[in-house]
Chain A
Amino acid sequence: MTGFIAKSTIIGVMSLWMIVSATASNPEEDEIVFENAGFNHKCFNCHGQKTYHYFNQSTEKEVKDRMNPYFVIDSVAFYQSNHRNFMCTDCHSSDYENFPHNGELRMEPQFTCMDCHGGDPTFAQYQFERIEEEFQQSVHSTKHSNDFTCWMCHNPHTYKINARNNLNINEVIIYDNNICLSCHADINKYQLLSDQTNPNVLVTHDWLPNQALHFSKVRCIECHTEIDKEMLIAHKVQVKEKAVKRCVECHSQNSLLMATLYKFQTVEKRNKLGFFNAAILSDHYIIGANRNYYLNVASLIIFGLTLLGITIHAIIRIMSK
């Protein structure tokens, strides 16, 4: 009888908890209304799809045509991006409201990040000035001068901060690597900037064992940028000769990953269970970097006792001979 009561109480508490947590998570699922969505919808009517319609005044006909795939913008990604509250015409000329767009418009200079973010204390935490400085020294900038802009990596319509606020480190890795791979695995975008035939990253990294695992567990920038202790995301991509090639830089107790990938989580050196570099643990296991303090101590003690036992036994054996 008491067992029955106990069980029903547990079930009752659990269902109550489930109901409460279900209602609590509801507001998040509500659709967020973006103030400029109404306006932007006009542009997305054409730029959100593979095809678009317009009224041809000379032939007086409704025309359906294909949209240049590079001009198609993913509205879902746009409304998750950093600049989701923007009107399209905050960055683009308001003359784009007319169709056909005036041919002159494409000659208009684009904003740069620094036009809006430079010297703005609201964004001090991101250190835009320092990023720009590092970027200027990077291979991309030095080799391609002004053609290579921040927009090349930060898609104006989808870029969303990740490493800073995404707790799922695997997602961050995929997001950040896709930025690099958008050129280094796509010859069309790559050749916007270079006439070289794109070296295949899978081939140029064939010295790395378990390559697929590495590429899904570390970011390109871990090996290719100069570590900057002051910054969350170092931006100085260096020439390939300076890239990290020594395995122990990650596979060791003072893994460089603690200064890069896991920077945000490296608060304590050892967590409760005694693992070094505990921040790495939940999704990763890096040979050499994840040692357990207690296991280390225990293994030393056991090993020492074994040797001691053997020595004592041997000495008595010899003496009693």
Chain B
Amino acid sequence: MEQRLYLYPVWLRIWHWINAVLFLLLLFTGLSLQYSSVEFSFIDFDLAVTMHNVSGIIITIAYFMFLFGNMFTSNGRFYKAKRKGYISDLIVQIKYYTYGIFIHQKTPFPVTENRKFNPLQKLSYVASMYFLLPILILSGFALIFPEIIIKNVFGVSGIHLTGLVHIISGFSLSIFLFIHVYFCTIGKTPLANFKSMINGWH
């Protein structure tokens, strides 16, 4: 397919890279908060708290940029669930990734103007952008303003539950990140997708 497609509008690329950088910062400072210790630290605790809070606020603003972008531009159509036969498509895609790709089969869902994501990408993007990230953001804000949290849930501190939700959703997104970045290397060339996300053209 020699024809080039313009699939990544400027706003999306700006959002994406702001998001990626901040997410890495949050991951790094978040880990150093969770595994803080008296003997050793990558970064001072109070500095880590401040950086984590500030990055969290900016990533939230960026998230709204993404939401509005998908609401008001045609990019949103790539995230629409779903037509019939999705599950079987998904299985086809999984088979391709676990087997077909190694014997040089053609990708079952090539990128077209109306299909930017294969079924697996779609699932992981929708899950992370419309489920995990909102949870992460909400629980994060609750921890910045702990007075809004319910004090006590069945004998367990509300702040503690919120903290757990925050950590679990943050962890899941980090796992997503690793898989995401790896699968991005599956393109025409290993770097093709990264170039696309920079210049916009597929």
Which A residues form the contact surface with B (CB < 8 A)?
207, 209-210, 212-213, 246-249, 251-254, 281-285, 287-288, 290-292, 295, 299, 302-303, 306-307, 310, 313-314, 316-317, 320
Contacts and interface: CB of A to CB of B under 8 A. Distances in A.
A248 B163 contact: no
A284 B182 contact: no
Given A209-B46, A252-B37, A320 B159 contact: no
Contacts of A320: 102-104
A281 B160 contact: yes
B159 A248 contact: no
B171 A252 contact: no
A138 to B, nearest CB: 25
Contacts of A251: 33, 36, 45
A252 B178 CA distance: 27
Contacts of B168: 295
A210 B38 CA distance: 21
B199 interface: no
The 9 closest A-B pairs by CB, nearest first: A285-B160, A247-B45, A288-B36, A285-B159, A320-B102, A310-B182, A252-B37, A248-B36, A252-B36
**Chief secondary structure at chain B's binding surface:** helix
Nearest to A302: B175
B41 interface: yes
A319 to B, nearest CB: 8
B102 A248 contact: no
Interface stretch (B68-76, B116-124, B150-158): B150-158
Size range of the interface on B?
A: 35 or more
Contacts of B160: 281, 284-285, 290
A248 B34 contact: no
11 contacts: A248-B36, A248-B38, A249-B38, A251-B36, A281-B157, A282-B155, A282-B157, A284-B157, A288-B35, A303-B174, A317-B102
Given A213-B147, A247-B49, A288-B35, 9 more contacts: A247-B36, A247-B44, A248-B36, A248-B37, A281-B157, A283-B152, A306-B175, A307-B178, A314-B182
A303 B167 contact: no
Contacts of B157: 281-285
Contacts of B110: none
Contacts of A210: 146
Interface in B147-196: 147, 152, 155-157, 159-160, 162-164, 167-168, 171, 174-175, 178-179, 182, 185-186
Contact of B33 (A281, A285, A288, A306): A288
B127 interface: no
A299 B34 CA distance: 13
Contacts of A281: 156-157, 160
A290 B163 contact: yes
B101 interface: yes
Given A209-B46, A287-B163, A317-B101, A248 B41 contact: yes
A119 B148 CA distance: 50
Contacts of A291: 34-35
B46 A247 contact: yes
A313 B175 CA distance: 16
Contacts of A213: 146-147
B146 A303 contact: no
Contacts of B171: 299, 302
A254 B39 CA distance: 10
A316 B179 contact: no
A316 B102 contact: yes
B99 to A, nearest CB: 10
A290 B102 CA distance: 45
Contacts of B163: 285, 287, 290
Contact of B49 (A209, A282, A302): A209
Contact of A253 (B37, B146, B162): B37
A249 B97 CA distance: 48
Given A213-B146, A283-B152, A248 B45 contact: yes
B27 to A, nearest CB: 12
A252 B174 CA distance: 22
A80 B157 CA distance: 29
